[in-house]
Each structure stands twice: as C-alpha cells, then as structure tokens.
Amino acid sequence: MRFNQFRGRAHLPAAFTLIELLVVIAIIGILLSVLIPALGKAKKQVRTVVCRSNLHQIGLAVALYADANQNYIPRGNPDNPWFMRFLPYLGHDQRQKDYRDVRIYKCPDFPRTGVGENNISNAKQTLCYVVSSWTFDNDKDQIGHEIREATKLSEFRHPGSTIYMADHEDGAWRPIIQTSTDDGLDRCDIWTPTHLPTSNGQDPHTGRRIARARHRDGCNVLFLDYHSEYIPADEMTVEMWRDK
C-alpha cells in the first residue's frame, strides 16, 4: 500500500522555484532586448524599400508622361507642378485637382512629429519628394541655376546617372504642402549646391532641401532612367544633377 502511494506521488508535476522563475524572466528579458531593436531596424528597412518603390513608380509615370508629351518632362514649375501632371499616369483624374490620396507621393519614413514652416505639423505633409530644376551653362559650371520650363529627355546626356527627384527635407525651414496651390511650391525643387544634403543651410530659400538622414545617413533618389536607389548624404555631388 505504501509503495503504491509513493509511486502515485512520483507522477505529480514539480513546481518551479522562485529562482527558476526569475531565471526564465531574465532570459525572456534578454531575448526581448535583442529582438526589439532588430525588429525596429527591420521595420525601418521596410519603410526605406517602400520609399524607393514609390520613387520607381513615379519614374514609370514620368516615362508615360514623356511618351505622351513629345518626350518632355516637367521641372519645378509651381503653377503647374509635376505631381499634378503625373496624376493621369498613376490612375487618377487630374481634373479633380486633388493628389492627396496618391500614396506614392508620401515617404513612409517622413517624420510625423514636430512642425515645419509656419508651425504646421509635419503630419500634414502631402509631398515628400522634391524635383530637379537644375540646369548648367556648361561642363565647368559648378553652380548652375533654376529652370522651370519642361525639358526634353534627349537633353540629358547621362540619364542613368542624373537625379530627377529626391527625399524632401523635413526641417522647420521647409514648407508643409497640403494642397496643389499652397505657398511654398516654388521651394520644392533643387537648383543650387546649398540645397544638397551636405549643406548646413536653413534659410527658407537657399537652405538644405534634400533630406540628409531620412534613410540611415542619406536619402532615396530617382534617376532619369527611372531607377531608384539609396545615396549616402556625403556622397551626393553636383555632378549627379547635371543635365548637360
């Protein structure tokens, strides 16, 4: 009888001691401390890829627009901005004059906290990319100047290495665009070295316009052969914007 009682008790599950529970909790804490930063980096990488995909899709719209407009592409004309011209080639009706539901115009990594120009919340930004209006007088010209007229693609000698669009800087000196008629559209283009991500300028007109650290320590860009890629801020040069 005693033998049977002993055997029955031997099958009872053993309880965890307090020390064992603490060890398990500590291990879980260590794992979370390792996994959570890794998950954060993975999410940021996904957002970077989405942004790059957005630019590539805009590039396809540029190609369709050029094909339908005698091979011309828009520059930084604020009276007839590029993001409105591309609507028909992105499956949207240009006559509605509203581009705000075009998701590919919005970088998922654009900060949604803080404020931009005139104390408008960054969360209201609807235009997360800036376009090239940069033209040069000759090969030795390192400054260039602004051009707002549409340009024929054949004028670009090296489309595969010439940038057409890049991430919009989110500094407080930069405009928050909410509609296609907002003030500040004339400052959503690139046309001088002080607009590059290496610039420390914060003047509303001559300061940095390309995001310095939107994705890691650089930004995503769209080239004129319609491919997009990441470029570290300190590697972007004037030559990458040269049209002639």
On the question of pLDDT at 9 being above 80, the answer is no
Biggest CA-to-CA distance, the chain: 106
The first and second tokens of residue 116, run together, are: 């931009």
Domain chopping of the chain, boundaries: 18-241
Cα 25 versus chain centre, distance = 40
This prediction's pTM: 0.82
pLDDT in tens, 27-42: 887 776 766 665 556 6
- Identify the sign of the CA torsion 219, 222, 224, 227: positive
Mean model confidence pLDDT for the chain: 88
Q: Percent of the chain, pLDDT > 70?
A: 87
- Amino acid at site 217: D
**pLDDT for the residue 204:** 95
Q: What is the pLDDT of residues 175-199, one digit of tens each?
A: 999 988 899 999 999 999 999 999 9
DSSP for the chain? -HHHHHHHHHTSPPPPPHHHHHHHHHHHHHHHHHHHHHHHHHHHHHHHHHHHHHHHHHHHHHHHHHHHTTTEE--S-TTS-HHHHTGGGGT--GGG---TT-GGGS-TTS--SSB-GGG-BGGG----EEEE-EE-SSTT-SS-EE--S-EEGGG-S-GGG-EEEEEBP--TTSPPP-STT-TTGGGSEE-SGGGSTT-----TTTS--B-SSSBTTEEEEEETTS-EEEEEGGG--GGGG---
pLDDT value of position 97: 65
Q: What is the pLDDT of residue 104?
A: 94
Q: Are 66 and 153 in contact (CB under 8 A)?
A: yes
- For residue 86, the one-letter residue type is F
Q: Identify the band that residue 25 occupies on the pLDDT scale cut at 50, 70 and 90.
A: confident
Instruction: For residue 214, report the phi and psi dihedrals to the nearest 5 degrees.
Output: -65, -45
Question: Residue range 131-145: average pLDDT?
Answer: 95
CB-count burial class (<10 Å; 0-12, 13-18, 19+) for 78? middle
pLDDT at residue number 28: 81
